[in-house]
Amino acid sequence: MQTSKKPNILFLFTDDQRFDTINALGNSQIKTPNMDKLVKSGTAFTHALIPGGTCGAVCMPSRAMLHSGRTLFHLDGLGENIPAEHTTLGETLKDAGYETIGIGKWHNGHKSYARSFTDGAEIFFGGMDDHWNVPANNFDPNGQYDNIIMSCWDPFYSNRTRTLRCDHVHPGKHSSELFADAAVNILQKQSHEKPFFMYVSFMAPHDPRTMPKEFFGYV
């Protein structure tokens, strides 16, 4: 079968990371070898700005703007949901013949995720959580994501509980490794019969700022 001429798209999204926290863009105090390779082989938009947010969680409206193409004051609410009438990036590429794959953090409602992606893994429906015990979900082709669990938000200071969409946890595995491994696993299985758009959305370096042990020496 002839390979499609449409380019494959791998979109890596880090969470709340400034452009000047990349070595290749002038910060000599930080080591980012893989990002440096991307900077040197591609294009870096050093003057691209976000307009802020109408809530403390700036990452949430930023993601809604990215996936809907809408500006801050044309979102639904604070960006916690992307309604059906706001066509997403994933939907657009899916309609163009792409297989769309969503991995990692999605902070804009499970229904908008479901209609955007045809495959995925280790999906986190939330904004901030324990990097070492991510409340994750397997991809559901029916788009339900209806397994709800209870969690105590901060057991040292409060007994306040919350509900989470979650069907599994990998105890002790850092979120960055969890999402990266899932992406590599799916990439290795690609059939190349259709072009793909893979959106890999990391939780780091967003709070809480914790990291695998091999990086402690850099702090």
On whether residue 208 sits in a domain, the answer given is yes
On whether residue 69 sits in a domain, the answer given is yes
Residue pair 156/146 in contact by the 8 Å Cβ criterion: no
Burial of 198 (0-12, 13-18, 19+ CB in 10 A): buried
Q: What is the CATH number of the domain that holds 147?
A: 3.40.720.10
3-class secondary structure, 182: helix
pLDDT at site 1? 44
User: Considering its fold, how many domains does the chain have in total?
Assistant: 1
Beta-bridge partner residues of 10: 198
Domain that holds residue 90: 9-32+54-218
On whether residue 2 sits in a domain, the answer given is no
Q: State how far the Cα of 37 lies from the Cα of 41, in Å rounded to an integer.
A: 6
Q: For residue 212, what are its two tokens?
A: 């695998």
Beta strand pairing call for 148-152 and 161-165: antiparallel
Q: State how far the Cα of 162 lies from the Cα of 132, in Å rounded to an integer.
A: 18
3-class secondary structure, 187: helix
On whether residue 3 sits in a domain, the answer given is no
Instruction: Give me the tens of pLDDT residue by residue for the chain, a chain 219 residues long.
Output: 455 589 999 999 999 888 889 999 999 998 999 999 999 998 888 887 777 777 877 889 999 999 999 999 999 999 999 999 999 999 999 999 999 999 999 999 999 999 999 999 999 999 999 999 999 999 999 999 999 999 998 889 999 999 999 999 999 999 999 999 999 999 998 877 899 999 999 999 999 989 888 887 775
On whether residue 43 sits in a domain, the answer given is no
DSSP 38-73: HHHHS---TT------SSS-THHHHHHHHHH---GG
On whether residue 122 sits in a domain, the answer given is yes
Residue pair 11/200 in contact by the 8 Å Cβ criterion: yes
